[in-house]
């Protein structure tokens, strides 16, 4: 149990530390509001898309995909999303807050925490399973986020969204573009394999190393910017939403997703590596990009940022509990 706790803390606490660093740097005057606004745009439009592209490119072979595993992950995320819409619309009448809360319920920090977490839980097999799931769940997370923030935004009352606007938001979303581009390159690599062509993107060293360098910047930079935007003054005003969103993300969703997977494990042939990926999908805190996207799409970015911070803090405990439970059940 001690090792499980240390593992969970090592997975999540670096994120919390970087957020705290951003908060301190803003308070001592090294980060200005103008810098943070530009940093937010840079992260959303450049750094995150490159990171997602590189993560998807890391998938070894499309032919090795376990269909039942992928279907469960996708359908479970959609089910959580639909439940989130119902519950959050009942919880608050404020459209901007609804958008931030719905994102918090269904959208995990899969890219930044979930994939490394799966690798730590089940080694190379866990990393491979998580990589496969990322090709499906990350685009799904972002598509549902665009739909959510288009429908539930601060301007929803003035400008009712239409299907065309939602579709435009999806196809022009930088995070979706990055993921789809990664899938396209992986598909091209599969064609090269079939045609016995040895060339790969990684062979273009200048381009590939540049992309990897940008990817390495993304997580720390995004977290520092988020910390700089964090305001404790918002906690008293938003405490109900923070408690609701944090509890739902870190307790309710993991219990539903992991319990259902455990009950279906024999039917769908789930093994340890699959559960390692499911922990990444269901049990990790709210995606950092949710706060960035909320700002870009006129939702309640302050609430979204608070939820990223508080779910990250609480998940240091809850992930430990879920990992320990799965170990006791013989999954890991």
Please compute the mean of the pLDDT values over residues 226-240 and round it to a whole number.
78
Task: Give the pLDDT score at 312.
Answer: 82
pLDDT at position 14 over 70: yes
pLDDT-based confidence at residue 249 (cuts at 50, 70, 90): very high
Q: What is the pLDDT of residue 214?
A: 93
**Phi, psi of 61, deg, nearest 5:** -145, 130
For 6, the token pair is 């240390």
Residue 20 pLDDT greater than 80, yes or no: yes
Check residue 183 and give its pLDDT. Answer: 83
At residue 8, the pLDDT reads: 60
Whole-structure pTM value: 0.78
User: Where does the pLDDT of residue 9 fall: very low under 50, low under 70, confident under 90, or very high at 90 and above?
Assistant: low
| Helix H or strand E encompassing 196 | none
**Phi, psi dihedral angles at 108 (to 5 degrees):** -90, 165
Report the pLDDT value the prediction gives residue 84, as an integer from 0 to 100: 95
Q: What is the mean pLDDT of residues 205-229?
A: 87
Query: What's the pLDDT at 62?
Result: 65
Give the per-residue pLDDT at 2: 65
Measure the CA–CA gap between 76 and 176, rounded to whole angstroms: 20
What is the domain extent for residue 129? 2-328
324 has pLDDT over 90: no
Instruction: Judge residue 236's burial from the number of C-beta atoms within 10 Å of its C-beta, 0-12 exposed, 13-18 middle, 19 or more buried.
Output: exposed
pLDDT at 180: 86
Percent of the chain with pLDDT over 90: 28
pLDDT of residue 328: 83
CB 276 within 8 A of CB 69: no
Question: Mean pLDDT over residues 268-284, rounded?
Answer: 92
pLDDT at position 41 over 80: yes
Reference 109, options 321, 309, 326; nearest CA is 309
Q: Which of residues 58 and 148 earns the better pLDDT score?
A: 148
DSSP 113: I
User: Which of the pair, 235 or 141, is modelled with greater confidence?
Assistant: 141
Mean pLDDT, the chain, whole residue set? 84
> Sorting pLDDT into bands at 50, 70 and 90, what band is 288?
confident
- Read off the pLDDT of each residue in 279-297 and give the average, rounded to a whole number: 84
Number of domains comprising the chain: 1
- Residues ≥6 apart with Cβ < 8 Å to 131: 55, 56, 58, 59, 60, 115
Residue 46: band (very low, low, confident or very high) from pLDDT cuts 50, 70, 90 = very high
Confidence of residue 282 (pLDDT cuts 50, 70, 90): very high
The answer to whether 66 and 274 are in contact (CB under 8 A) is: yes
Would you place residue 186 in the very low, low, confident or very high pLDDT band (cuts 50, 70, 90)? confident
Smallest CA-to-CA distance from 54 within 279, 194, 218, 172 is with 218
pLDDT digits (tens, 9 = 90+) for 84-141: 999 999 998 888 889 899 999 999 988 777 877 787 788 778 877 887 888 788 888 8
Lowest-confidence pick of 5-14, 29-38, 86-95, 321-330: 5-14
pLDDT tops 60 at residue 157:
no
For residue 128, the model assigns a pLDDT of: 75
Residue 70: pLDDT over 70: yes
What's the rounded mean pLDDT across residues 259-268? 93
- CATH code where residue 77 lies: 1.20.1530.20
Distances (CA, A) of 219 to 44, 129, 231: 11, 22, 20
Residue 113: name the closest of 8, 227, 17, 253 by CA: 8
């Amino acid at each position: 149990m001690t090792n499980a706790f240390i593992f969970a803390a090592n997975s999540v606490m670096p994120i919390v530390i970087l957020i705290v660093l951003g908060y301190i740097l803003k308070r001592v005057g090294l980060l200005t509001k103008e810098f943070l606004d530009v940093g937010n745009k840079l992260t959303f439009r450049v750094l995150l898309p490159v990171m997602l592209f590189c993560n998807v490119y890391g998938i070894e072979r499309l032919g090795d995909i376990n269909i039942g595993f992928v279907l469960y992950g996708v359908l479970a995320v959609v089910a959580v999303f639909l439940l989130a819409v119902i519950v959050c619309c009942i919880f608050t009448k404020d459209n901007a807050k609804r958008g931030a809360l719905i994102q918090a319920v269904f959208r995990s920090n899969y890219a930044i925490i979930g994939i490394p977490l799966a690798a730590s839980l089940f080694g190379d097999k866990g990393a491979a399973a998580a990589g496969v799931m990322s090709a499906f769940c990350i685009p799904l997370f972002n598509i549902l986020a665009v739909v959510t923030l288009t429908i539930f935004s601060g301007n929803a009352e003035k400008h009712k969204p239409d299907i065309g606007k939602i579709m435009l938001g999806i196809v022009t979303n930088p995070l979706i573009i990055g993921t789809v581009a990664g899938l396209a390159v992986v598909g091209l690599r599969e064609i090269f394999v079939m045609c016995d062509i040895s060339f790969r993107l990684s062979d273009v060293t200048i381009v590939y190393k540049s992309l990897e360098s940008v990817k390495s910047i993304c997580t720390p930079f995004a977290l520092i910017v988020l910390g700089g935007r964090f305001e404790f003054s918002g906690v008293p005003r938003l405490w109900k939403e923070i408690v609701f969103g944090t509890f739902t993300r870190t307790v309710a969703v993991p219990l539903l997703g992991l319990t259902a997977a455990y009950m279906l494990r024999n039917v769908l042939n789930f093994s340890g590596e699959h559960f390692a990926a499911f922990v990444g999908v269901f049990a990790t805190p709210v995606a950092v990009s949710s706060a960035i996207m909320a700002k870009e799409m006129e939702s309640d970015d302050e609430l979204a940022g608070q939820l990223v911070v508080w779910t990250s803090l609480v998940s240091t405990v809850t992930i430990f509990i879920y990992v320990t439970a799965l170990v006791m059940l013989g999954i890991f």
